[in-house]
Chain A
Amino acid sequence: MKTRSQKWFLIPYYLWLALFVIAPILLIVYYSFLDIYGNFTFKNYQRFFSSVYLEMTVSSFWYALLITIFCLIVAYPTAYLLTRTKYKQLWLLLIIMPSWINLLLKAYAFIGIFGTYGLANALLEVLGVGSRQILFTDFSFIFVAVYIFIPFMILPIFNALDKLDKSYLDAAMDLGASKWQTFRRVIFPLTLNGVKSGCQVVFIPALSLFMLTRLIAGNRVITLGTAVEQQFLVNQDWGMGSTIAVFLVIIMFFIVFFTERGVRNGKKAQN
């Protein structure tokens, strides 16, 4: 009786898992063994290990990593400073609000801003740097991707920092720790859960970014997400698309196991 009442609130979640995660994943694994005629085959997996797709995997990883790092670099100080403002919850909401405007519209706005005759180049002109190509470069791609993911990184870090007990900081200061030491030994370890959560919600979807690769990077960046999109929609090769999707899921599993272990160790270090 007791064990049942313990778990009752998990029922909706397990139902969700079964219906919208397990069922689709089985479907995708099934499709990944089909060729374009619907016959059973291992060819898709063979194809994935060809140079084109491996190269794509490596570059997806690289870009996702860069995006996550830059997100963290911008988001951490922002979240930290936000916790010290007067109307912090309000400011936080104002950080999230831009993400409620349609992504395509914002991407178009960025095309205008980064264009040859756009705002960014006008600014560079004024600063005396001179105009240069910004659109369709790695810089613009990473910039816009960071722009899109930044609220997802700020939110968990903000929540972690906000809860931080001021007395720890005071204690550290009293013990003569420098600001950097306080940050490295006290603040950062205590907010590690928030950082980890932020990195997960940025890195994982960044692996499968697709629209920006065309709009902002002009197809000069091609990620696994773009490839799945193409295979499913343009080529109508659901088999190959599913195979790439299966690999995305496998990669994600590794990331979760890796970050979770990292956190456990971090906790031990604290104690």
Chain B
Amino acid sequence: MEKKRKINFSSIYLFIVFIILYLPIFYLMYYSFNSGGKMYNFESFTLDWYRELFGNTRMLIIVLNTIIIALLSAAISTIIGVCGAIGIWLIKSKISRQTLLSLNNILIVSPDVVIGASFLILFTIIGIKLGFTSVLLAHIAFSVPIVVLMVLPKLQELPMTIIDAARDLGASHWGVLTKVILPLITPGIFAGFFMALTYSLDDFAVTFFVTGSGFSTLSVEIYSMARRGVSLEINALSTILFFVTILLVIGYYFIVSKQNQGHPARLEARK
């Protein structure tokens, strides 16, 4: 009896958390059907915004740009970040480890305009053409520290014996890295990847400063609409993207877990 009550309580808690997390999203989805044209005063149901969206090639290009930048920057920054996290973890001296970690966090604490403006100066000095490349580089740059912060705690939990083996990671110990360490920190790596994705999708200020040559992302487009009022086309777009992502995530999850079900032993071994 008591156990059952506990389960109910915890599902209620989770339910409330999810409701709050999704409330604003349902709110903006609801208004994507508003004929009134704004995110308030619902007038009547319409699909006009969706219709308009599908005829808008410029918007399609912007969406694709956003996705490409997000995926590539998250993937590359995850690779760099994992290397960095292992590096920091391997350092014995406490002072140098803390210094390195502090340096790592500088981009997280710096306000976006500062990052954007200094990257802009940097790119113009180096002579990188503003556009796809500069935006990609910038997104990789500001995503690396978050990956490090997500991976590091996983590394710190590894048992001492592995640390010792890893400390003298020579050519012969390449196996320790790929066969032991990486599989053990995989959850941290995925956490880092998804956080990097989040950073990239949401960034406005940095992207704005380092973009050019007709290259634009969704965030830049949305923020620049603020003065005139964000078009409901954006709400329609967010709704579609959201459902596509949910389908992809759920689909992927079940494919993967089905594959693993066939080989429970292998899964265990890999863990």
Q: Please give the residue numbers on chain A whose beta carbons come within 8 Å of chain B beta carbons, in ascending order.
A: 2, 5-7, 9-10, 12-13, 16-17, 19-25, 27-28, 74, 77-78, 81-82, 84-85, 87, 89-91, 93-106, 108-110, 112-113, 119, 147, 150-152, 155-156, 159-160, 162-163, 193-194, 196-197, 200-201, 204-205, 207-208, 210, 224-225, 228-229, 232-233, 238, 241-242, 245, 248-249, 251-253, 256-257, 260, 263-264
Contacts and interface: CB of A to CB of B under 8 A. Distances in A.
B80 A13 contact: yes
B156 interface: yes
Contact of B107 (A10, A20, A110): A20
Interface string B133-152: 00000001110101001101
Interface of B: 10, 13-14, 17-18, 20-25, 27-28, 39-40, 79-81, 83-84, 86-87, 90, 94, 97-98, 100-115, 117-119, 121-122, 140-142, 144, 146, 149-150, 152-154, 156-157, 168-171, 187-188, 191, 194-195, 197-198, 201-202, 204, 218-219, 222-223, 226, 230, 234-235, 238, 242, 245-246, 249-250, 253, 257
20 contacts: A6-B168, A13-B81, A23-B118, A24-B110, A90-B250, A94-B18, A97-B249, A98-B21, A105-B235, A106-B28, A113-B24, A119-B23, A147-B21, A193-B156, A200-B149, A204-B109, A205-B108, A207-B109, A233-B113, A264-B94
A159 B187 contact: yes
A251 B164 CA distance: 34
Contacts of A27: 118, 121-122
A108 to B, nearest CB: 5
B111 A225 contact: yes
A78 B111 contact: no
B188 A100 contact: no
Nearest to A245: B114
B238 A105 contact: yes
Contact of A156 (B40, B153, B171, B245): B153
A253 B98 CA distance: 9
A173 to B, nearest CB: 14
B29 to A, nearest CB: 10
Given A24-B119, A252-B108, 19 more contacts: A5-B169, A24-B114, A24-B118, A28-B118, A77-B13, A78-B14, A101-B242, A102-B201, A104-B230, A105-B238, A106-B25, A109-B28, A155-B150, A159-B154, A197-B150, A204-B109, A238-B117, A248-B110, A256-B98
Given A197-B150, A252-B105, A109 B25 contact: yes
Contacts of A21: 103-104, 106-107
Contacts of B79: 12
Contacts of B195: 96, 151-152, 155, 201
Given A5-B170, A242-B114, A248-B109, A98 B191 contact: no
Contacts of B17: 74, 78, 95
A27 B142 CA distance: 17
A224 B111 CA distance: 9
A194 B118 CA distance: 32
Contacts of A99: 198, 202
Contacts of A253: 102
Contact of A102 (B100, B111, B112, B219): B219
A85 B14 contact: yes
Nearest to B137: A20
Nearest to A146: B20
Contact of B141 (A5, A10, A20, A95): A20
Given A13-B84, A228-B114, A102 B238 contact: yes
Contacts of A252: 102, 105-106, 108-109
A9 B83 CA distance: 6
A16 B147 CA distance: 13
A112 B141 contact: no
Nearest to A242: B114
A112 B117 CA distance: 33
A36 to B, nearest CB: 15
B69 to A, nearest CB: 13
Nearest to B140: A16
A27 B103 CA distance: 15
A7 B232 CA distance: 51
Contacts of A119: 23, 27
Given A20-B141, A81-B13, A25 B106 contact: yes
A18 to B, nearest CB: 10
Contact of B20 (A84, A147, A225): A147
B21 A10 contact: no
Q: Which 5 A-B pairs have the closest CB atoms?
A: A13-B84, A109-B24, A24-B118, A20-B141, A193-B153
